[in-house]
Amino acid sequence: MPVDYLKPKGMHQNPAFTQALVVPAGSRLVMIGGQNSVDSDGKLVDGDLGAQTTQALANLKLCLDAAGADIDDLVKVTIYIAGDLDIMPGFQSWVKFAGQPTNPPIVTVLKVLALGRPGVLVEIEATAVLPG
């Protein structure tokens, strides 16, 4: 049984995110911890929010690949942005990464004072669902 993407009546429907969904019993959950803009050598990718988001999403993709999942399996994404940055460069990186999925994940974006490593502007955690 696939994930049931809900479209509650009376709520705004946005093609970039889903309001609610139901994960079927017996599904396997892939929990991906916060991915940021650190490359494979542990070096912080310099640049603006767009460049850092691109690297964080590349890291997210590597985690999905390791679990046998892909972008379409994402059901929940939480994005933390340091400071009071304009989110549009990060959103543009997301669109390049994910395109326009038929069933976008639930998305929460939070602006926080700072992230765990100095210089990091974005951190992305996610949950994907695989069939049981």
pLDDT of 46 > 90? The answer is no
* Type of residue at 82: A
pLDDT, tens digit, 9 for 90 and up, residues 82-115: 999 999 999 999 999 999 888 999 999 999 999 9
The structure's pTM equals: 0.92
pLDDT of 14 > 90? The answer is no
Task: Supply the DSSP string of 5-68, one letter for each residue.
Answer: EE--TTS---TT--SEEEPPTTPEEEEEEEE-SB-TTSPBPPS-HHHHHHHHHHHHHHHHHHTT
Ordered domains of the chain (ranges, CATH): 29-130 (3.30.1330.40)
Please provide the average confidence, as pLDDT, over all residues in the chain. Answer: 94
